[in-house]
A and B are shown apart, each in its own frame.
Chain A
Amino acid sequence: MSAVLLVGLKITDLSAWTALETGRRLLEPGHTLSRIAREQLLLFEPEPGGKAETFERTLGEAVRQSNFFVNPNKERYHFLTSSERGESWSPPDSAWGILTRVREDTRDDGLKARLLREHPMPGLGAIRRAKVWWLWSRGPDGTPAAPYFRETLGELRDQRHGLLVNPHAETAMLLHGATPWSRVDRFLIQPAPALRAAA
């Protein structure tokens, strides 16, 4: 089990705002998009055979008491230890999400090296990166219509379809309802599926 840090802006997120404005123009009548929010996700894995408990306390202090990960003037965060994160990840109220990662290796070795220089923490394995877009949407029937919105605003296919994910550089996973963390871990750790298989 790994620890997780989610970081988002508490000031206005202009990228999310622009995604909202641009996304609305791609929708068919009857579909509404009321909000988009964006968070960065960092997954802290233990070394092979180790446990996250060995470094979580030091990591938690680095998150809370230094400005290494979070600028408290503009960002908010949720730090979840391996025991705190529980079995599944639930979206914010009424939202659903598109989790994206690069197609290549998600490990950020540069970030890990910088972190360990400032905050030594034995037992820390890889740090992996992803991004999540949270969407608050409604289809004509009043449901969130996540499949439609993912099709229209998720993976880019052409000028009219897709926005948030370029599938040639990134791959994506739907976060609808409670998603087991084990699925999220696999999504970040395993090689990205081939484009055609993903499609």
Chain B
Amino acid sequence: MARVAVVQIPGVNCEYETARALEVVGLTARIVRWNEPASVWSEFDAYVIPGGFAFQDRIRAGAVAAKLPAVDRIAAEAERGKPVLGICNGAQVLVEAGLVPGLHPGRVEMALAPNRAPRREGYLCRWSWLGVTPGPGSSWYARNVRPGQVIPMPIAHGEGRFLTADPEVQERIEIEKMVLYRFVAPSGGRAVRYPFDPNGATLQAAGITNRAGNILAFMPHPERATWLRQVPLELKNAWGESRRAAVGNWEALEGPGPGRILFQSLASNLLSPSAEGARPGREARS
């Protein structure tokens, strides 16, 4: 059974629902405090840094958490090929730690800057539309996404704008297809303005991976869209239709929501026969 650490840093607030989302796709999730001993971290097969406000976003979102020894240890595990998913504040931590995009491992090459849209500023809490551009992260985080599929997912952030001041970094992440998830229009076309481009991110990026594809900094909240009951009734697409049709039908409401696809992708990898076969026995590692 694949074990996933959901990293509980002081100030995060999505660890329990993230753990539930991982459990529902068949993974074993454990909420792990940031100050656990060094030996604990290698016991896991994957790591999720959930959303919230680590250290109250003091200095900058993710800035303080990025300096934690736990993040160092997770980075070391990622170098061994283990997947690391940062959701929202977790994405901010990964960017501030230099793990994403990681063109020069360890070097900070991006920021998650305050949202920027005409006549709008501050925190955004709404549903957005995502498209996938296949790249090195596809097999870990978008394995089950159909070509052209548009995935609705909620966002909730004040600093969600992927930004780099280094033109070479921007060029590399585009050429190497590291922008796995982008904000798109509901039709799947390019998001050219608010609300479809909600924060003005470089390349409309919603989720960027490292070169190897095993680390994903993802600004939307898939754990808030893992069950159909979490989809808003007024959503104007097939997911909204399914949600409206499920009113009063508890079994249907407990069915998958659009965000589950990301966790399912992770699980498909971690639970594949080859991954299970390659995993050493727990006893050997403890």
Contact = CB atoms under 8 A, between A and B. Distances in A.
Do A and B assemble together? yes
Interface of A: 14-15, 18-19, 22, 25-26, 102-104, 110, 156-159, 162-164, 166-170, 194-196
A15 B63 CA distance: 11
Given A157-B107, A164-B59, A166-B96, A103 B67 contact: no
B58 A166 contact: no
Given A168-B165, A196-B166, A159 B59 contact: no
Tier of interface size on chain B: 20 to 34
Contacts of B163: 168-169
Contacts of B24: none
A25 B64 CA distance: 11
B166 A169 contact: no
23 contacts: A14-B58, A15-B58, A15-B59, A18-B55, A18-B64, A25-B67, A103-B165, A156-B63, A156-B96, A156-B108, A158-B98, A159-B71, A159-B72, A162-B108, A163-B63, A163-B67, A166-B111, A167-B108, A167-B111, A167-B165, A169-B113, A169-B163, A195-B165
B123 to A, nearest CB: 14
Contacts, number: 70
A102 B67 CA distance: 22
A158 B108 contact: yes
A26 B109 CA distance: 20
B270 to A, nearest CB: 26
Contacts of B75: 159
Contact of A159 (B97, B109, B121): B97
A104 to B, nearest CB: 8
Interface string B147-165: 0000000000000000111
Contacts of B164: 168
A164 B60 CA distance: 8
A194 B282 CA distance: 50
Given A166-B111, A168-B111, A158 B55 contact: no
A195 B164 CA distance: 9
A156 B95 CA distance: 11
A166 B97 CA distance: 11
B201 to A, nearest CB: 12
Nearest to B72: A159
Contacts of A104: 116
Contact of B59 (A18, A26, A167): A18
A14 B153 CA distance: 33
B21 interface: no
Interface string B253-277: 0000000000000000000000000
